[in-house]
Amino acid sequence: MKYTFVISILLFALLSGNHIALAMKPVKEYSIVPDTLRLPYEKNILTTSDGLHLKSWTFLPAKGLDKKTTLVLAYADAGNMSWWLSQATILSQSGYTVLLFDYRGFGQSDPFDIDGKMLYYNEFTADLAAAVEFARKKYSANKTGIWCFSMGTIITTFSATTIHPDFIIGDGFITSPIAVQQFYAKKNDFIKLPPRAADYDAALAAIKAPMLLFAGSDDKVSTPASIKALKQKKTTLTVISYKGGHLAGFNVLSKTFPGSEYVKAVDKFLKAK
Protein backbone atom coordinates (compact mmCIF):
# COMPACT_ATOMS: atom_id res chain seq x y z
CA MET A 1 0.00 0.00 0.00
CA LYS A 2 1.12 3.54 -0.74
CA TYR A 3 2.10 5.60 2.26
CA THR A 4 -0.31 8.44 1.42
CA PHE A 5 -3.16 5.97 1.09
CA VAL A 6 -2.45 4.44 4.50
CA ILE A 7 -2.40 7.89 6.14
CA SER A 8 -5.71 8.92 4.54
CA ILE A 9 -7.38 5.69 5.62
CA LEU A 10 -6.02 5.99 9.15
CA LEU A 11 -7.47 9.48 9.45
CA PHE A 12 -10.83 8.42 8.06
CA ALA A 13 -11.01 5.34 10.27
CA LEU A 14 -10.44 7.51 13.33
CA LEU A 15 -13.22 9.85 12.24
CA SER A 16 -15.72 7.18 11.30
CA GLY A 17 -15.64 5.13 14.52
CA ASN A 18 -17.45 1.80 14.90
CA HIS A 19 -20.80 2.79 13.33
CA ILE A 20 -22.87 1.68 16.31
CA ALA A 21 -26.55 2.64 16.52
CA LEU A 22 -29.46 1.28 18.54
CA ALA A 23 -32.01 1.50 15.70
CA MET A 24 -32.57 3.18 12.34
CA LYS A 25 -30.61 6.41 11.86
CA PRO A 26 -30.32 7.01 8.12
CA VAL A 27 -28.19 9.93 6.94
CA LYS A 28 -28.71 11.56 3.55
CA GLU A 29 -25.44 13.48 3.24
CA TYR A 30 -22.19 11.65 2.47
CA SER A 31 -19.41 12.36 4.96
CA ILE A 32 -16.81 11.58 2.30
CA VAL A 33 -16.97 10.52 -1.34
CA PRO A 34 -14.68 8.07 -3.16
CA ASP A 35 -13.14 10.80 -5.33
CA THR A 36 -11.49 12.16 -2.18
CA LEU A 37 -9.48 8.95 -1.81
CA ARG A 38 -8.36 8.99 -5.48
CA LEU A 39 -8.93 5.28 -5.89
CA PRO A 40 -10.51 3.46 -8.84
CA TYR A 41 -14.24 2.99 -8.42
CA GLU A 42 -17.46 2.89 -10.39
CA LYS A 43 -20.73 4.73 -9.79
CA ASN A 44 -23.88 2.76 -10.48
CA ILE A 45 -27.64 2.95 -9.96
CA LEU A 46 -29.29 -0.33 -8.97
CA THR A 47 -32.95 -1.09 -9.61
CA THR A 48 -34.87 -3.25 -7.15
CA SER A 49 -37.59 -5.76 -8.02
CA ASP A 50 -40.21 -3.25 -6.84
CA GLY A 51 -38.83 -0.44 -9.00
CA LEU A 52 -36.77 1.64 -6.57
CA HIS A 53 -33.35 3.05 -7.42
CA LEU A 54 -30.34 2.64 -5.15
CA LYS A 55 -27.05 4.53 -5.21
CA SER A 56 -23.99 2.29 -5.41
CA TRP A 57 -20.21 2.57 -5.48
CA THR A 58 -17.91 -0.28 -6.45
CA PHE A 59 -14.26 -0.21 -5.41
CA LEU A 60 -12.04 -2.10 -7.81
CA PRO A 61 -9.10 -4.32 -6.82
CA ALA A 62 -5.60 -2.93 -6.63
CA LYS A 63 -3.78 -3.41 -9.92
CA GLY A 64 -2.25 -6.87 -10.24
CA LEU A 65 -3.96 -8.18 -7.09
CA ASP A 66 -7.41 -9.12 -8.38
CA LYS A 67 -8.67 -12.11 -6.34
CA LYS A 68 -11.74 -12.55 -8.56
CA THR A 69 -14.01 -12.16 -5.56
CA THR A 70 -16.76 -9.61 -5.02
CA LEU A 71 -17.87 -8.53 -1.55
CA VAL A 72 -21.34 -6.93 -1.48
CA LEU A 73 -21.42 -4.87 1.70
CA ALA A 74 -24.70 -4.85 3.68
CA TYR A 75 -24.09 -2.29 6.40
CA ALA A 76 -25.65 -1.64 9.80
CA ASP A 77 -28.64 0.52 10.73
CA ALA A 78 -27.12 4.01 10.71
CA GLY A 79 -25.54 6.53 8.35
CA ASN A 80 -25.00 5.56 4.74
CA MET A 81 -22.40 3.82 2.61
CA SER A 82 -19.88 6.66 2.98
CA TRP A 83 -19.42 5.57 6.60
CA TRP A 84 -17.87 2.33 5.31
CA LEU A 85 -15.34 3.69 2.84
CA SER A 86 -12.35 2.92 5.05
CA GLN A 87 -13.18 -0.78 5.24
CA ALA A 88 -14.16 -0.99 1.57
CA THR A 89 -11.02 0.68 0.26
CA ILE A 90 -8.73 -1.43 2.42
CA LEU A 91 -10.36 -4.66 1.17
CA SER A 92 -10.24 -3.45 -2.44
CA GLN A 93 -6.56 -2.57 -2.11
CA SER A 94 -6.10 -6.11 -0.81
CA GLY A 95 -7.46 -7.52 -4.08
CA TYR A 96 -11.24 -7.66 -3.66
CA THR A 97 -14.01 -6.02 -5.66
CA VAL A 98 -16.17 -4.30 -3.03
CA LEU A 99 -19.67 -3.13 -3.90
CA LEU A 100 -21.35 -0.67 -1.56
CA PHE A 101 -24.98 0.42 -1.85
CA ASP A 102 -27.45 2.45 0.15
CA TYR A 103 -30.69 0.88 1.32
CA ARG A 104 -33.88 2.67 0.32
CA GLY A 105 -34.26 5.74 2.53
CA PHE A 106 -30.49 5.95 3.16
CA GLY A 107 -27.96 8.21 1.46
CA GLN A 108 -29.00 9.20 -2.05
CA SER A 109 -31.09 6.10 -2.76
CA ASP A 110 -34.82 6.55 -3.39
CA PRO A 111 -36.84 7.79 -0.38
CA PHE A 112 -38.52 5.39 2.00
CA ASP A 113 -40.41 6.21 5.19
CA ILE A 114 -38.34 4.95 8.11
CA ASP A 115 -39.40 4.63 11.73
CA GLY A 116 -36.34 5.19 13.90
CA LYS A 117 -37.51 2.53 16.32
CA MET A 118 -37.51 -0.27 13.73
CA LEU A 119 -34.67 -2.77 13.97
CA TYR A 120 -34.85 -3.49 10.23
CA TYR A 121 -37.27 -3.56 7.31
CA ASN A 122 -38.17 -6.60 5.22
CA GLU A 123 -37.98 -4.36 2.14
CA PHE A 124 -34.20 -4.17 2.56
CA THR A 125 -33.99 -7.78 1.36
CA ALA A 126 -35.04 -6.55 -2.09
CA ASP A 127 -32.26 -3.96 -1.93
CA LEU A 128 -29.63 -6.55 -1.10
CA ALA A 129 -30.96 -8.89 -3.79
CA ALA A 130 -30.64 -6.10 -6.37
CA ALA A 131 -27.04 -5.46 -5.30
CA VAL A 132 -26.04 -9.13 -5.47
CA GLU A 133 -27.76 -9.62 -8.83
CA PHE A 134 -26.01 -6.55 -10.25
CA ALA A 135 -22.63 -7.69 -8.91
CA ARG A 136 -23.00 -11.15 -10.43
CA LYS A 137 -23.82 -9.72 -13.86
CA LYS A 138 -21.26 -6.89 -13.80
CA TYR A 139 -18.38 -8.95 -12.39
CA SER A 140 -19.40 -12.32 -13.74
CA ALA A 141 -15.93 -13.89 -13.50
CA ASN A 142 -15.94 -13.43 -9.72
CA LYS A 143 -17.26 -15.38 -6.78
CA THR A 144 -19.90 -13.20 -5.12
CA GLY A 145 -20.47 -13.09 -1.39
CA ILE A 146 -22.03 -10.82 1.21
CA TRP A 147 -20.03 -8.87 3.80
CA CYS A 148 -22.58 -7.86 6.42
CA PHE A 149 -22.68 -5.88 9.66
CA SER A 150 -25.22 -5.91 12.52
CA MET A 151 -28.62 -5.10 10.95
CA GLY A 152 -27.15 -6.11 7.61
CA THR A 153 -26.67 -9.64 8.96
CA ILE A 154 -30.43 -9.88 9.49
CA ILE A 155 -31.10 -8.80 5.92
CA THR A 156 -28.50 -11.27 4.69
CA THR A 157 -30.04 -14.14 6.65
CA PHE A 158 -33.51 -13.52 5.27
CA SER A 159 -32.11 -13.15 1.73
CA ALA A 160 -29.63 -16.02 1.63
CA THR A 161 -31.97 -18.81 0.57
CA THR A 162 -33.16 -16.85 -2.48
CA ILE A 163 -29.99 -15.05 -3.64
CA HIS A 164 -27.62 -17.92 -2.75
CA PRO A 165 -24.35 -16.06 -2.01
CA ASP A 166 -21.13 -18.00 -2.53
CA PHE A 167 -20.13 -17.09 1.02
CA ILE A 168 -21.13 -14.86 3.95
CA ILE A 169 -18.78 -12.78 6.11
CA GLY A 170 -20.59 -11.41 9.15
CA ASP A 171 -19.52 -8.86 11.75
CA GLY A 172 -21.71 -8.29 14.82
CA PHE A 173 -23.91 -11.12 13.58
CA ILE A 174 -27.47 -11.09 14.92
CA THR A 175 -28.60 -14.62 15.77
CA SER A 176 -32.11 -13.56 16.88
CA PRO A 177 -33.92 -10.23 16.23
CA ILE A 178 -36.39 -11.14 18.97
CA ALA A 179 -33.54 -11.56 21.45
CA VAL A 180 -32.22 -8.11 20.46
CA GLN A 181 -35.68 -6.63 21.03
CA GLN A 182 -35.84 -8.27 24.45
CA PHE A 183 -32.36 -7.01 25.35
CA TYR A 184 -33.33 -3.40 24.67
CA ALA A 185 -36.70 -3.81 26.38
CA LYS A 186 -34.80 -4.54 29.60
CA LYS A 187 -33.10 -1.17 29.10
CA ASN A 188 -36.51 0.49 28.63
CA ASP A 189 -35.74 1.05 24.96
CA PHE A 190 -38.51 -0.46 22.84
CA ILE A 191 -37.39 -1.67 19.42
CA LYS A 192 -39.98 -2.63 16.79
CA LEU A 193 -39.77 -5.67 14.55
CA PRO A 194 -41.47 -6.06 11.15
CA PRO A 195 -43.75 -8.99 10.25
CA ARG A 196 -42.22 -12.47 10.07
CA ALA A 197 -39.43 -11.78 12.55
CA ALA A 198 -40.29 -15.13 14.15
CA ASP A 199 -39.21 -16.84 10.89
CA TYR A 200 -35.59 -15.82 11.48
CA ASP A 201 -34.51 -19.05 13.17
CA ALA A 202 -35.67 -21.11 10.20
CA ALA A 203 -34.00 -18.73 7.74
CA LEU A 204 -30.72 -18.93 9.64
CA ALA A 205 -30.86 -22.72 9.79
CA ALA A 206 -31.46 -22.87 6.04
CA ILE A 207 -28.26 -21.04 5.09
CA LYS A 208 -25.94 -23.34 3.15
CA ALA A 209 -23.23 -20.85 2.21
CA PRO A 210 -19.87 -21.00 4.04
CA MET A 211 -19.82 -18.43 6.85
CA LEU A 212 -17.09 -16.45 8.60
CA LEU A 213 -18.11 -14.44 11.67
CA PHE A 214 -16.15 -11.83 13.61
CA ALA A 215 -17.30 -11.84 17.25
CA GLY A 216 -16.45 -9.42 20.05
CA SER A 217 -15.88 -10.68 23.59
CA ASP A 218 -17.73 -7.65 24.99
CA ASP A 219 -20.53 -7.52 22.44
CA LYS A 220 -23.83 -6.98 24.28
CA VAL A 221 -25.98 -7.23 21.13
CA SER A 222 -24.41 -10.19 19.36
CA THR A 223 -23.24 -11.94 22.48
CA PRO A 224 -20.42 -14.52 22.66
CA ALA A 225 -22.98 -17.01 24.04
CA SER A 226 -25.25 -16.56 21.01
CA ILE A 227 -22.37 -17.04 18.59
CA LYS A 228 -21.21 -20.12 20.49
CA ALA A 229 -24.72 -21.58 20.27
CA LEU A 230 -24.82 -20.90 16.55
CA LYS A 231 -21.43 -22.55 16.11
CA GLN A 232 -22.76 -25.67 17.81
CA LYS A 233 -25.59 -25.82 15.28
CA LYS A 234 -23.42 -24.95 12.27
CA THR A 235 -20.21 -26.87 12.82
CA THR A 236 -18.66 -25.60 9.57
CA LEU A 237 -18.99 -22.00 10.76
CA THR A 238 -15.67 -20.16 11.15
CA VAL A 239 -15.51 -17.72 14.08
CA ILE A 240 -12.80 -15.12 14.67
CA SER A 241 -13.02 -13.84 18.24
CA TYR A 242 -11.50 -10.55 19.35
CA LYS A 243 -11.46 -8.50 22.52
CA GLY A 244 -13.93 -5.69 22.05
CA GLY A 245 -17.54 -4.67 21.60
CA HIS A 246 -20.12 -4.57 18.82
CA LEU A 247 -18.54 -3.96 15.39
CA ALA A 248 -15.11 -3.19 16.87
CA GLY A 249 -13.39 -6.00 14.98
CA PHE A 250 -11.92 -4.00 12.11
CA ASN A 251 -10.33 -1.49 14.46
CA VAL A 252 -9.15 -4.08 16.98
CA LEU A 253 -7.70 -6.46 14.40
CA SER A 254 -5.17 -3.92 13.15
CA LYS A 255 -1.55 -4.87 13.65
CA THR A 256 0.44 -3.40 10.75
CA PHE A 257 -2.28 -1.24 9.15
CA PRO A 258 -6.02 -0.64 9.81
CA GLY A 259 -7.79 -3.98 9.56
CA SER A 260 -4.63 -5.93 8.72
CA GLU A 261 -5.47 -9.04 10.77
CA TYR A 262 -9.11 -8.75 9.72
CA VAL A 263 -8.05 -8.89 6.06
CA LYS A 264 -5.78 -11.88 6.76
CA ALA A 265 -8.72 -13.75 8.31
CA VAL A 266 -10.88 -13.00 5.25
CA ASP A 267 -8.07 -14.15 2.92
CA LYS A 268 -7.60 -17.40 4.82
CA PHE A 269 -11.31 -18.13 4.91
CA LEU A 270 -11.85 -17.51 1.20
CA LYS A 271 -8.75 -19.42 0.11
CA ALA A 272 -10.13 -22.49 1.88
CA LYS A 273 -13.45 -22.30 0.02
Count of Cβ atoms closer than 10 Å to residue 24 Cβ: 21
pLDDT at 10: 42
The pTM (predicted TM-score) of the whole model is 0.93
What CA dihedral angle connects 41, 45, 47 and 52, to 10 degrees?
A: 130
**Cα–Cα distance for residue pair 143/186, rounded to 1 Å:** 42
Along the chain (273 residues), what's the average pLDDT of each consecutive run of 10 residues?
Answer: 45 47 84 84 97 97 93 96 93 96 98 96 98 98 98 97 97 96 88 96 96 96 95 94 94 91 97 82
Residue type, 150: S
pLDDT at 227: 97
**Cα–Cα distance for residue pair 192/207, rounded to 1 Å:** 25
pLDDT at 7: 41
**Cα–Cα distance for residue pair 16/12, rounded to 1 Å:** 6
The DSSP code sequence of 107-175 is TTSPP----TTBS--TTHHHHHHHHHHHHHHHTTTSEEEEEEETHHHHHHHHHHHHH--S-EEEES--S
Which is it for strands 238-242 and 211-216: parallel, antiparallel or unpaired? parallel
pLDDT at 1: 45
Query: Quick check: 264 and 19 in contact, CB under 8 A?
Result: no
Look at the domain 3-271 and name its fold: Rossmann fold (3.40.50)
Count of Cβ atoms closer than 10 Å to residue 111 Cβ: 10
pLDDT at 19: 52
pLDDT at 20: 53
Query: Quick check: 75 and 19 in contact, CB under 8 A?
Result: yes
**Cα separation values, 171 from 15, 52, 96, 98, 162, Å:** 20, 27, 18, 16, 21
Which is it for strands 97-101 and 53-59: parallel, antiparallel or unpaired? antiparallel
